[in-house]
Amino acid sequence: MQAIISATDLVKQYPGVRAVDGINLSIPQGICFGLLGPNGAGKTTTIEMLEGIHQPTSGTVHYKGEPLGARYREEVGIQFQHTALQEFLTVRETLQFFERLYHETLPIAEVITLCSLTDILDRDTRKLSGGQRQRLLLSLALINDPDLIFLDEPTTGLDPQARRNFWDLVKLVKSRNKTIVLTTHYMEEAYALCDEIAIMDKGRIVSQGTPAQLLTEHFGDVVLQIPGEDAGGKLMEMNIGAVPAGELFEIKTNRLHHTLQLLMDNGINLDRLRIRAWTLEDLFINVTGKDVKP
């Protein structure tokens, strides 16, 4: 599939800090691409170079095979992590304002419907709730009917309900064959929305692929969870790598049949045994480490 945007050997050097250190990316049309990483990993710097907001120290970014230029500004939609709007304008006026900045746009009515803004059209933008504000910011990113949309931590600070509503909205946008580049701290969000993810750490991509691929690559084993009261002290004596995890014991194994047989042979009650699936959060910790980032 042809890449809608690609980056080659992207570097951003600040005095004393190499924020992005040689990133190569190629994002196909029509997917949701997630860029994950701990604070300070270089996600926002990378995404802002892809957006054309910052110039890379070295390396190139191409949109539909061409260097970023005037056409890019017309065809890309961006929702920044931190942004403000012109004050004292209503939602409708804000949409009209941004509509006039582009040559070709979606009809405002379509954007309003898509982002469920009908009920708040005449409200001052300073008086919107967090979820309403994020829907408005997304609608502004969509107003020029962009082929490529950047969403930089769009659900940070939203309550769970607003976050899930926003996910539905992103899925709806994606269903229109739009390409979305998403950064997020929420692993379940990345899992729910992204077709492909890249995990960054210290300015580099340390892991990239589909969520399922990455989980399979990094975790060949499974985790068995047994309530402590069912296992008694026997689990620790069996020397099978059981570790306490709250009120449970967890056992990692890549020989499931053998381990289950061993547990039964030792009289462990398996009625309440659970097998926990590995998550992107496990993967994230696995590839970036548990240490607090400087």
Q: Kindly state whether residue 1 participates in binding another protein, applying the rule CB under 8 A.
A: no
Chosen residue from 66, 103, 257, 267 binding another protein by CB under 8 A: 103
Q: Kindly state whether residue 63 participates in binding another protein, applying the rule CB under 8 A.
A: no
Chosen residue from 1, 2, 88, 271 binding another protein by CB under 8 A: 88
| Residue 68 in tokens | 């970023």
Q: Kindly state whether residue 73 participates in binding another protein, applying the rule CB under 8 A.
A: yes
With beta carbons less than 8 A apart as the criterion, state whether 49 and 22 touch. no
Nearer to another protein, 67 or 232 (CB): 67
Chosen residue from 17, 101, 256, 275 binding another protein by CB under 8 A: 101
124-163 residues near another protein, rule: CB under 8 A: 140
Query: Least distance (Å) from another protein to the CB of residue 232?
Result: 58
**CA separation for the pair 225, 243 (Å, rounded):** 10
Nearer to another protein, 86 or 261 (CB): 86
Chosen residue from 2, 82, 233, 247 binding another protein by CB under 8 A: 82
Chosen residue from 70, 212, 277, 292 binding another protein by CB under 8 A: 70
**CA separation for the pair 157, 91 (Å, rounded):** 21
Amino acid sitting at position 87: E
| Residue 131 in tokens | 């979820």
Helix (H, G, I), strand (E, B) or coil at 109: helix
| Residue 206 in tokens | 């340390």
Nearer to another protein, 95 or 173 (CB): 95
Cβ-in-10-Å burial (0-12, 13-18, 19+) of 11 comes to: middle
Chosen residue from 25, 27, 50, 78 binding another protein by CB under 8 A: 78
Nearer to another protein, 127 or 272 (CB): 127
With beta carbons less than 8 A apart as the criterion, state whether 47 and 211 touch. no
Chosen residue from 5, 76, 223, 263 binding another protein by CB under 8 A: 76
Stretch that binds another protein, among 39-47, 75-83, 156-164, 223-231 (CB under 8 A): 75-83
Structure-derived torsion over alpha carbons of residues 230, 236, 242, 246, reported in degrees to the nearest 10: 60
With beta carbons less than 8 A apart as the criterion, state whether 286 and 278 touch. no
Query: Least distance (Å) from another protein to the CB of residue 47?
Result: 12
Q: Kindly state whether residue 89 participates in binding another protein, applying the rule CB under 8 A.
A: yes
Q: Kindly state whether residue 118 participates in binding another protein, applying the rule CB under 8 A.
A: no
Q: Is the dihedral of CA 86, 135, 52, 281 positive or negative?
A: positive
DSSP labels, 178-205: -EEEEE-S-HHHHHHH-SEEEEEETTEE
**Residues found near another protein in the complex (CB under 8 A):** 51-53, 70, 73-74, 76, 78, 80, 82-89, 93, 96-98, 100-103, 140
